[in-house]
Amino acid sequence: MGTKLKEPVRIRDKKLANGNSSLFLDVYFNGKRKREYLKLYLIPERNKVDKEANANTLKLANAVKAKRIVEIQNNEYGFKTKTGKEKTNLIQYVHYLADQELAKTGNKRSYYYTFNSLAKHLNTFAGEKATFANVDTNFVKNFITYLRTAKNFNYEKKEGEDKKALSPNTQHNLFKKFAFVLKKAVKSEIVLFNPIDKLEGNDKPKGEDSAREFLTITELKKLIGSECKNDTVKRAFLFCCLCGLRYSDVSKLTWDNFYIDNDGEMMLRMRIQKAKRNEDIPISKEAIKWLPDKKEGAGKIFDLPKNDNANKLLSKWCKTSGITKKISFHCSRHTSATLNLSLGVPIETVSKLLGHKKIATTQIYAKIIDEKKKEAIRKQEGLFD
């Protein structure tokens, strides 16, 4: 008589205080055991309806069980088999991605800066010899716990002062980049699955609404009336302030992106890099003023320096214009949003103009406008005392 093979996935239940039973999968494979709670519950059977409900719940649980067995057989479940690349050094791979971003954008602040910061924190957390073989769901959860109390390496502390802890937004950004690293690793077949996929939404670090710097109409007039060392940067920035494009999009613009619609209005059709979809954007006459003269055989409309250099030029231009705000090229997008809202454009329309997937993103700007209104009203206090 043959030996009976042990079933790799079993449905088990755990009694809860309210009398229900929580179903979970007990998964055992290659000497490793995992529990996967299904968020499915059996209820006490008091009548026929209860029995039918439990029967349907068990059907769902068995369907998930069958799927997990197939995933294990295809090496797709959370138990990793060797890929031949799992010994890739984690820290070195993060630096590799940082260098790729720098070569692509020339920007030492954005992704490059955050990737290098991530590498420092992973090194502190797991050591310089950590490989992708170490990275599983528990590794990710423990790294998230580490981030909650980690110190900010980039904060220049004063003498006698302790280093500051990472802000919620910094934790969120570092986690997002770590998720990107693991996604790339899966694509490169360094690992077979992304352990972040096994996390619940509440397990992941959440960011906070941060202050979004923007320019007022008065400040825009100051910039228009002053000279920028690079006229192309000036034109491109003001164009973006009026139509809401990102640097990554405006730097690729060609005349082929523009067309006249049936109403005789200028339109911009292009593939938005971040959203990865095509958009048709109406262009105002004010924005058109900042386009350079069309030249025969011209390639890109705005021959811009790399983002980091463009931001340095913007900073000097703002300073000479008497603007003390910390302005980057991306602030043109914030300016476009707040400008349209302050002019009474409905939030749904502004959301579409900016290409936001969710109106909640646009509502952040609406809150900024509301707060500015309140500030204006507060200035009346004591006016007639």
**Of 28-37, 207-216, 271-280, which has the strongest mean pLDDT?**
28-37
CATH number of 90-155+162-203: 1.10.150
Token pair listed for 369: 């406008």
pLDDT of residue 156 exceeding 90: no
Model confidence band, residue 222 (pLDDT cutoffs 50, 70, 90): very high
Average pLDDT, the chain: 83
Per-residue confidence at 82, pLDDT binned at 50, 70, 90? low
Higher pLDDT, 317 or 102: 317
Whether pLDDT at 155 is above 60: no
- 120-141 pLDDT, tens digit each: 999 999 999 999 988 988 999 9
183-192, 238-247, 258-267, 270-279: range with lowest mean pLDDT: 270-279
- Higher pLDDT pick, 148 / 107: 148
The Cα 139–Cα 80 span in angstroms is 14
What is the fold, at CATH topology level, of the domain defined by 217-378?
hpI Integrase; Chain A (1.10.443)
> Residue 95's pLDDT is what?
92
Q: Is the pLDDT of residue 74 over 60?
A: no
* Residue 11 phi, psi (nearest 5): -90, 125
> What pLDDT score does 376 carry?
61
The domains spanning 90-155+162-203 and 217-378 adopt the same CATH topology:
no
In the predicted model, is pLDDT for residue 87 greater than 70? Answer: yes
Tell me the mean pLDDT in the region 192-218.
Answer: 79
228-237, 293-302, 313-322: least confident range: 293-302
Q: At residue 110, does pLDDT exceed 70?
A: yes
Domain spans, the chain: 9-73, 90-155+162-203, 217-378
Asked if 314 contacts 329 with a C-beta cutoff of 8 angstroms, the reply is: yes
Which of 16-30, 66-80, 209-223, 275-289 bottoms out in mean pLDDT, i.e. has the lowest?
Answer: 66-80
- The pLDDT of residue 209 is 55
Average pLDDT over residues 333-353: 83
Closest CA relative to residue 329, chosen from 227, 251, 221? 251
